[in-house]
Structure 1
């Protein structure tokens, strides 16, 4: 089935130019070109769209206003800003209405690639209720103590970008949102920024202050969610998984870019648990009961209750936000890396193994011989079965 894409701009010539350049995509997409926000809403009232791409500055109704309406009325539609106006305040404002931001002029190949990636995310999450929820999310829940620390650092006369970055690095929600912003094409980074500390240094504390204090991009986890899950344990597990993945990746001589992506994927791989516990607290209590009563791993209990898992939920949202495809796949398939066709040890397998090793090390440091829960088909296919104990011994070296 063709994907439905809606392009919105107030300049007819720009719309005609898009129509001409994207003509080769007619077999894959049904495209509609609307002049202005009001016309776009009339089009949306008649039929649903998978993606909307809007200019920012338009008379009568700007892109931020339009996408906020789309977010609330049509949350399953992915929202992208395509604008040539380098207004930092406006871009920061759009962080809560748009999933991604592309700058004009935008190369046709990048525009097509971005839209295609967003469209294929639907295959990850076959749950319309969750898609509607995730489509509306504009903030990610953060640990209350971390939130307080960053507020203190930002308000301190001695506060620094490096200090703020170190705090953000300890929180998966803040990490994801900062990476979403710094890697948008507005900042025109020559390479992908994969670490929150570097991201904050590049953005500067004024931008982060705007996000936290004015736009309120970050929010604290509710008491309900905190009563259901141990957020500190989840964060501790994710950070340690990142350390293990980095060590194993380095031993396997992975290039630095992959090591950076492995660290971020590890830190964010359980973010879906926070989202499910925050927005479906009572249902997640049932997940906890199944885990304890039936001795099942979380992802299997989640599948029973939600029809999907925290891995898919987290990957879907992060994919909408434009995080690297390799990172999104590693998060989505960190329980089943064999579902991703690969002829060598890649991020999916690395995060899969690292998170299982971390769980085993918590229970029996160095004493385990077999990695329970490991994707045997994956290891068998890549000839990695003999590596498990070698990796275990390596990560324990000081």
Structure 2
């Protein structure tokens, strides 16, 4: 193992683990034969987490017409995949140490992440993804930049240097990380995804969100890439990277639109991002 890899691994190991209940949810839902009853039983064993999920389900984010009073009802209304991703999103927000706020603007970071999550989900729905599967798209957007938090917390000098360099116009933060650290937030984010035992598609999205031309084509990855650029273009929050990258031809073909048309095609983005803020509020509580 190289010195750099040892350093990255040491940083990732310092990040808190998920609660046991969330680890069990991820383990159960990785099995295609997972039953609704089994999943509900696992969530119910953690009363604090149960309360958070119910508050989220009854918020404007889901906009349900009736109040949901039990996890059993929630699993019926939402579907197992959405329940899994809700659990995962809340756990990931809760796992970020409070000290991260001393190293980076966490308000700006979470606003950027929520906007990317919301736009990724909206783009997925436009391409015909089911509401339950669109929860994967939201989770990918919410966690795509989580590697930046690891750098800010546990490699602060290098992170600060990369941030300074990326302030120059036309310079990408991703390239500055590579120059200064020798690795990017996508690299260390993928390592954290392994530590947290995140699903394969989520690990892949975190690892490849700046390099969609490499590896197998992926609709989720294309939506995530576009959402990231739209969010930067519209200045939703900030995660240290202001450079709007051009859309590859393959992405334009998938959507049959250019960047400006895609932005126009998401008229309710502001409102939906506002509704999604509950994720951060409950996750940090």
Shift in alpha-carbon separation, 1:192–1:392, aligned structure 2, 3 A: farther
- Equivalences for 1:191-230 in 2 at 5 Å? 191=34, 201-205=43-47, 218=95, 220-222=97-99, 225-230=100-105
Q: Which residue is equivalent to 1:379?
A: 251
Residues 182, 199 of structure 1: 8 Å contact kept: no
Match of 2:166 among 269, 291, 296: 291
Determine which of 333, 344, 355 is the counterpart of 2:208. 333
Whole-Å separation in 2 of the counterparts to 1:373 and 1:317: 25
Alignment equivalent of 1:139, drawn from 10, 13, 16: 16
Offset, 1:374: 3.2
After TM superposition, give the deviation of residue 284 of structure 1 in Å.
1.2
* Cα separation, 1, equivalents of 2:172 and 2:133: 28
1:283-310 CA-partner distances (Å, limit 9, x unpaired)? 1111111112465222111111111111
- Cα distance change, pair 199–391 in 1 and its aligned pair in 2 (3 A): farther
| Separation in structure 2 between the aligned mates of residue 187 and residue 319 of structure 1, nearest angstrom | 14
Do the aligned partners of residues 341 and 219 (structure 1) sit closer, same or farther apart at CA in structure 2, a change above 3 Å counting? closer
Structure 2 partner of 1:149: none
- 1:98 is matched with none
SS state at 1:247 partner: helix
Q: Is the 8 A contact 2:144 2:209 kept in 1?
A: yes
Paired with 2:171 and 2:41, the residues of 1 have a C-alpha distance of 38
Residue of structure 2 in register with 1:396 after alignment: 267
Q: 2:6 aligns with which of 128, 150, 154?
A: 128
| C-alpha distance in 2 between matches for 1:192 and 1:244 | 30
1:307 is matched with which residue? 182
Q: Over the residues paired in the alignment, what is the CA RMSD in angstroms?
A: 3.7
- Whether the 8 Å contact between 1:183 and 1:189 is mirrored in structure 2 is no
Q: Secondary structure at the match of 2:133?
A: helix
2-side partners of 1:304 and 1:276: how far apart? 14
Structure 1 residue 138 displacement after superposition: 5.0
CA-CA distance at 1:387 after TM superposition: 4.8
Contact kept in structure 2, 1:335 and 1:375, CA below 8 Å: no
Alpha-carbon separation, structure 2, partners of 1:230 and 1:199: 37
Larger relative strand fraction? 1
Question: Do the aligned partners of 1:182 and 1:203 also contact (CA within 8 Å) in 2?
Answer: no
1:285 and 1:200, CA in 2 relative to 1: closer, same or farther beyond 3 A? farther
State the SS of the aligned residue for 1:183: helix
Distance 1:288 1:261, change over 3 A: same
CA distance in 2, matches of 1:277, 1:320: 18
What SS does structure 2 have at the residue aligned with 1:352? helix
Check the 8 A contact 1:337/1:352 in 2, yes or no.
yes
Aligned length: 217
Residue-by-residue CA offset, 1:33-60 (whole Å, 9 max, x unaligned) = xxxxxxxxxxxxxxxxxxxxxxxxxxxx
Q: 1:181 to 1:276 in 2, by over 3 A?
A: farther
Match of 2:124 among 249, 253, 257: 249
Could you say which structure has the larger radius of gyration? 1
Instruction: Give the match's secondary structure for 2:235.
Output: helix
**Which consecutive unaligned segments of at least 5 residues does structure 1 have?**
1-75, 77-125, 141-173, 210-216, 364-370
Q: Is the CA contact (8 Å cut-off) linking 2:113 and 2:141 kept in structure 1?
A: yes
Q: Does 1:180 align with 2:23?
A: yes
Question: Contact between 1:269 and 1:334, CA under 8 Å: does it hold in 2?
Answer: yes
Name the structure, 1 or 2, with higher relative contact order (CA <8 Å, separation 6+). Answer: 2
- SS class of match (1:362): coil
CA contact (8 A) 1:245 1:350 kept: yes
Tell me: CA distance 1:270–1:138, structure 2 relative to 1, closer, same or farther (3 Å): closer
State the TM-score, normalized to the length of structure 1.
0.47
More helix by share: 2
Find the aligned partners of 1:128 and 1:283 in 2 and give their Cα distance: 16
